[in-house]
Structure 1
């Protein structure tokens, strides 16, 4: 069943003066998963073997925390429950540094590959695990591979039922693995009259197309200047804060490499890994950044 776009209600936004647009805070976010858990590797790495894989998430997250501390950045870390169960001290370090802990689900399964009941169990389990580890409420959720779309409108109801206040699970772009290109570009309520807020990943509107400005593989593939220009355009022309994301494995060029990957998957996963940490550091100083909850929930 597809969700009709007209049912979406964009969240109201206060018009900003030019001086305010120049000092907008953008939202930095990190999807905390390890290299072997990415959806594109699912055909090659059985999840039953995850515990046998050499983990690198701790060292990579610690490097990210160092970059953020040096640049004065606070961020939202969408963390897998699977990771939090095995690395609770790492999650507490993130929380103690003043960052927001949010949910990336428990087992990193696409929403579209689960029944509504299984999805609810997954997101509730992750929320409870993260809250137990940090002692703080978890407000936000991000679906693996941005897999909330027109075929899974029930997911927003499950999130509300589980006690989440917002989701950042939609990327309004055309992509072969994800995307909901006709969704609103800015915060919206998925169901009229509902109180769950959907916060799409940032796109720049150019020549009637949404261009991916919010990170991921595009940030590694495109020249840095292009990403910077798109985020600045959204701030200046739309008067809106951007939402940017990346993964810990994207700053780790020395991660183990599974064999027998198809060429497209290999290229997408490994392109420009050696440049990503330097680009993140530059991005951190080129814009003002803060946690998702502070930027969007405090406006409600």
Structure 2
């Protein structure tokens, strides 16, 4: 399995997405960083997002930044810079609490607050939402109704894979309606040997060799004739972030593996594929099909 040479002209435009949260807000590290400690924990997200903006500017790529309301309130200039540089500002909720850990009322309040905060700061409509840890699934079927009620146009909160913390293996692999005015756009997988395999980024992008991710994205583009979605976090290009030694070995491995290689792999990814915003890549096609 090898990565073919870059040929941006003969492939579709894929959606590049960034989940804007800091290292201490990751769900797996939550036991070590209770929310009451966040205000006193040194943030690294601003420098990392600025670096990402530089990478995108150099490559001519645009993307969607699924941003926490908590981050936006503390770094409003950063959020405005994202919008001013032509990227999409979308919602990752306010306080990075898993949708499946909330009541419907609390979840709705959280995503409404995040939308209002982001729109006020960015000065533009926020149409997209992504649940922390892809926490919309079989245990909380009411969540899509809340997302639609909050005024979002699309959700990217379902990962159609089997995972110990998230995933709906039997969910559709491509965009599907989940309400009268809401579409779910799941994270990209390839279908092989009777199951879905993740090729949409995150920890898999750091763990597996780069050619595996490139191969999977090309398969979706060429065989399925569909755009792919790729996601990552600002802390994944930050190998100098503090190490939580008290975390379990499994958590440490998942969080810190190959952090020093991620930026280089991202540069290759931006060179090898064409990248755009979620709303521009997917919503025109969804609207045309309705």
Offset from partner CA, 1:223-251 (integer Å, 9 cap, x none): 00000000000100000000000000000
Aligned counterpart, 1:77: 65
Mapped to 2, the partners of 1:69 and 1:141 lie a distance apart of: 24
Q: Does 1:144 align with 2:132?
A: yes
Equivalent residue for 1:122? 110
Matched, 1:241 2:227: yes
Partner of 1:230: 216
2: CA distance, partners of 1:272 / 1:293: 30
1:87 corresponds to: 75
Q: Distance in 2 between matches of 1:23 and 1:180?
A: 28
Give yes or no for the alignment of 1:102 onto 2:90.
yes
C-alpha contact (below 8 Å) 1:22/1:235 kept by paired residues? no
For 1:282 and 1:51, how far apart are their aligned partners in 2? 35
Q: 1:270 aligns with which of 252, 256, 271?
A: 256
Aligned residue for 1:214? 200
Alignment check: 8 A CA contact 1:102 1:141 kept: yes
CA drift at 1:258: 2.1
Length-normalised TM-score, structure 1: 0.92
Count residues in correspondence: 280
Q: How does 1:248-263 map to 2 (within 5 A)?
A: 248-263=234-249
Residue in 2 aligned with 1:163?
151
Tell me the alpha carbon deviations over residues 94-148 of structure 1, each in whole angstroms, 9 at most, x when there is no partner. 1111000000000000001100000000000000000000110000000000000
Aligned to 1:59: 47
* Contact 2:244/2:252 (8 A) holds in 1: no
Aligned partners of 1:22, 1:65: CA distance in 2, in Å?
25
Unaligned runs of 5+ in 1: 1-19
1:21: Cα distance to partner? 9.7
- Kept after mapping to 1: 8 A contact 2:161/2:197: yes
| 5+ long unaligned stretches in structure 2 | 1-7
Displacement over 4 Å in runs of 4+: none
CA distance in 1, matches of 2:87, 2:187: 19
Determine if contact 2:11/2:222 at 8 Å carries over to the other structure. Answer: no
TM-score of the pair, normalised by structure 2: 0.95
Give me the whole-angstrom Cα distance separating, in 2, the residues matched to 1:259 and 1:118.
32
SS in 2 for 1:78: strand
Partner deviation per Cα, 1:189-244 (whole Å, 9 max, x = no partner): 124xx220000000011111111010000000000000000000010000000000
Residue number in structure 1 paired with 2:276: 290
Maintained 8 Å contact 1:104/1:144: yes
SS where residue 43 of structure 1 aligns?
helix
